[in-house]
Structure 1
Amino acid sequence: MTGGPTAPDQPTTSAAALAEDAIVRFRGDRPRHGWRRAVLRLSGGLVNPGVGPEEELRQQYRARIRGPLPGPHRIAVGSIKGGVGKTTVAACLGLVLAENRGDRVAVLDADTDAGTLADRLGVDTAESIRGLVDFVAAQPGPVTALTDVAPYLGLSGRLHVLASDQSPTVSEALGPADYELASEVLTRFHDIVITDSGTGMVHPVMRATLRGADGLVVVGSPTVDGASRAAQTLDWLDAHDHGDLAADAVVALSMDRSSDAVDVRRVREHFARRCRAVVEVPHDPHLATGAVIEPARLAQPTLDAFLEMAALLADRFGRAAAPPARA
């Protein structure tokens, strides 16, 4: 996992100056892990060795994640190739953002080939993006209450989930206008919307996703095919007027697939030159099962990787949205 940029200074006049970690005395130096936590507990709180460098870094990530958000922020998670962990990254990123922020976070499955995001998050797929789109289109005016939209959303922890259509026949009918309508409705009631995109970059739904994205995560792996397809994703973005989005992207390298024969350092350096940051997501036995993701069962290095990824994306929350790129 690579180190992200240092946390930007928060203005002393903002609400962040009164955050709990800042004004509750000694709260920030209570260790949560390892021998430091054991010493604190065994001494009944009398001996506090303070937090170590790893926990201090986690606190910095959380502070960045909780930064001010002036308006809805849309994050696309994509790759030109399937099977590299794109859905896992979208799900875990959503869970981390929802857990560490006080506002609403939603994740949308825009995979037109019966995506598995809802399954990974343990959400019932009885309702889907198609049902939401049909409901909204049938209304005489704008939908103005979250309670009207809630029946179409699942809940995983604090994360709202909009599932993809599970019928292949119906999924083929999902067009860019449908996605844009669903995304617009979600951003009306949610502060952050993450889209788990399909694998075809030229698909009209993917183009609509990119047009509305404020941030991008490109998922790859340190293998010949995984790295080359991630690089091809960036090449495609550069060639289709999304160069700024590509340059500002965060590349997630899924270490689930790796080989000693591949020079991971060179792969990492290649993407570090092309994008804003690279985060390595380590192999995690719990994620490798492909079952419902339970955050409590994730290894600490995995959680740290997604904390870093979320912090890097949150660094752009205060930036004015760029004008939509040409299709």
Structure 2
Amino acid sequence: MPNADNWQGDVLRDLGGAARRGGQRPGDAAHAVGTPSHGPDTPAPSPAAGAPVPDAGAPGRAGRSEQAEQAEQAGHQRQERPAPAPYAPGTRAPRNTPDSRPVVDDALTGAVRKPRHGEPLAARAAHALRRIVSSSAAREVAEITRTAEQLQQPVTTGRQIAVTSIRGGAGKSTVAALLGTTYAHYRQDPVLLVEADPALGSLPLRLGARSLRWTTGDVADIVEPQMSLLDVTGYLVQLPDNAWLLPGSQGRIGAMLDTRAYERVMVSLRRYFGVTVVDCETLPAEVARVALTASQARVLTAPATLEGITSTYNVLKWVKGLPRHVIEGTVVVLTEQTPRAGIDLGKAAQKLGSTGASVQVLPYDRHLAAGGAIRTELLARSTRQAATRLAADVFQLSQKRR
């Protein structure tokens, strides 16, 4: 049983101890991205070309603890370990061991064009010039440092953040992916992204995963309290920066996830991960309602259109009827899906904010608008800043509810 006062240390020691028992030298194994970290008949592949890459210029990864370094080494070394049993000893075996399926059909990969940068070259050059000649560079660095400190605050128990929307195409999975990769980049403890939207959700694609095997519904019948983090991550898709993904389906139509299975997964996995970001179904789906009430903070995405603002405002009025902490712990993200929004974002934010929720804007970004795997080095500067501020604000809200 982990020490309740230092559960993160127990988890990292678990990883570090496994690495020492493996008898390998740090750095012997390649870091595989976008595939299950281990499992029957699963070879260790090369990194996915489209996997998110953290912004090398962002602060927050220096000065990492020895435990964090051991955890990262264990993540590398896990790729070279012999394939384990299909399920951990002492746990319930699933009815059928699923086959690994590709996220994108091979026939479609050739249709993907080269990813575009989030903003034109002229705009990037102008930003660089302003930073050189402007006195605001020091203020910008100070602001980034403060945000990084907020994101790196320790937690006593795992924080769960639910992301949902009123309709499809509102940027829900995109925002969930941005939040998860931001937390994984800045924090030293493990981060989990859960797809609770089994109806052909796009979170694995946005995160650059190549193949999927175990789903949220599968893991609900497998996870047991006595399992270690290494046991648990065997059923997850490994991502960069000590992060993992639990997909909602394998891309099959008709996949289901009921509230009992969702609750079992979230309760069982909470102790292993410092932050869990949940990509929920759209409201008013039952699992989404359960996720909203059970999480410590909520993100509601809405397209920056008149229709999106109107429907989101109506939902926020419903949320106001729930316990007060729900609306106070909710952030609305207005996603600009065209270069110029058709509404006054200031007035829209004021109207939505009158319900008690916070409101932020995710600006239009050519890279995000093109779809596919998110590569953070291609995001526009304004997008990276907005995503980091959003992650920090949402995390602060989650800390207020213990």
TM-score (norm 1): 0.77
Q: Deviations over 1:38-97 (max 9, x none)?
A: 69xxxxxxxxx8943223222211111112212111111111222110110000011001
CA gap of 1:318–1:200, structure 2 versus 1, over 3 A, is: closer
C-alpha contact (below 8 Å) 1:284/1:302 kept by paired residues = yes
Distance 1:110 1:134 in 2: 15
Distance 2:374 2:219 in 1: 25
- Please tell me whether residue 293 in structure 1 is matched to residue 374 in structure 2: yes
- Please tell me whether residue 34 in structure 1 is matched to residue 119 in structure 2: no
Deviation of the 1:242 alpha carbon: 4.5
> SS state of the match for residue 185, structure 1?
helix
CA gap of 1:289–1:50, structure 2 versus 1, over 3 A, is: closer
Deviation of the 1:233 alpha carbon: 2.4
- Please tell me whether residue 302 in structure 1 is matched to residue 383 in structure 2: yes
Q: What is aligned with 1:129?
A: 216
Deviation of the 1:135 alpha carbon: 2.1
CA gap of 1:156–1:213, structure 2 versus 1, over 3 A, is: same
C-alpha contact (below 8 Å) 1:234/1:246 kept by paired residues = yes
Unaligned runs of 5+ in 2: 1-60, 64-126
> SS state of the match for residue 221, structure 2?
helix
Distance 2:396 2:252 in 1: 38
Q: Could you tell me which of 36, 50, 55 is aligned with 2:141?
A: 55
- State the identity %: 27
- Please tell me whether residue 194 in structure 1 is matched to residue 247 in structure 2: no
Q: Could you tell me which of 162, 169, 177 is aligned with 2:246?
A: 162
CA gap of 1:236–1:58, structure 2 versus 1, over 3 A, is: same
TM-score (norm 2): 0.63
Runs of 4+ in structure 1 deviating by more than 4 angstroms, as ranges, are: 35-39, 257-261
Q: Could you tell me which of 160, 165, 178 is aligned with 1:79?
A: 165
* One-letter identity of the residue aligned with 2:395: A
Distance 1:248 1:34 in 2: 36
Deviation of the 1:151 alpha carbon: 2.2
* One-letter identity of the residue aligned with 2:216: I
Distance 1:242 1:107 in 2: 26
* One-letter identity of the residue aligned with 2:248: S
CA gap of 1:284–1:125, structure 2 versus 1, over 3 A, is: same
C-alpha contact (below 8 Å) 1:85/1:254 kept by paired residues = yes
* One-letter identity of the residue aligned with 1:181: R
CA gap of 1:281–1:155, structure 2 versus 1, over 3 A, is: same
Q: Deviations over 1:252-291 (max 9, x none)?
A: 1101147554222210111232234222111111111111
Q: What is aligned with 2:175?
A: 89
Q: Deviations over 1:99-121 (max 9, x none)?
A: 01111111111013121101110
Q: What is aligned with 2:291?
A: 209
Distance 1:237 1:94 in 2: 24
* One-letter identity of the residue aligned with 2:265: A
Q: Could you tell me which of 296, 306, 310 is aligned with 1:228?
A: 310
Q: What is aligned with 1:111?
A: 197
Distance 1:236 1:118 in 2: 31
* One-letter identity of the residue aligned with 1:179: Y
C-alpha contact (below 8 Å) 1:109/1:163 kept by paired residues = yes
Unaligned runs of 5+ in 1: 1-18, 22-32, 40-48, 322-327
Query: Number of aligned pairs?
Result: 275
* One-letter identity of the residue aligned with 1:285: R
C-alpha contact (below 8 Å) 1:218/1:251 kept by paired residues = yes
Q: What is aligned with 2:301?
A: 219
Distance 2:288 2:312 in 1: 15
More deviation, 143-152/218-227: 143-152
Q: Could you tell me which of 232, 236, 255 is aligned with 1:149?
A: 232
Root-mean-square deviation over aligned CA pairs: 2.4
Distance 1:277 1:153 in 2: 32
Deviation of the 1:317 alpha carbon: 4.7
C-alpha contact (below 8 Å) 1:80/1:232 kept by paired residues = no
C-alpha contact (below 8 Å) 1:247/1:274 kept by paired residues = no
Deviation of the 1:232 alpha carbon: 2.4
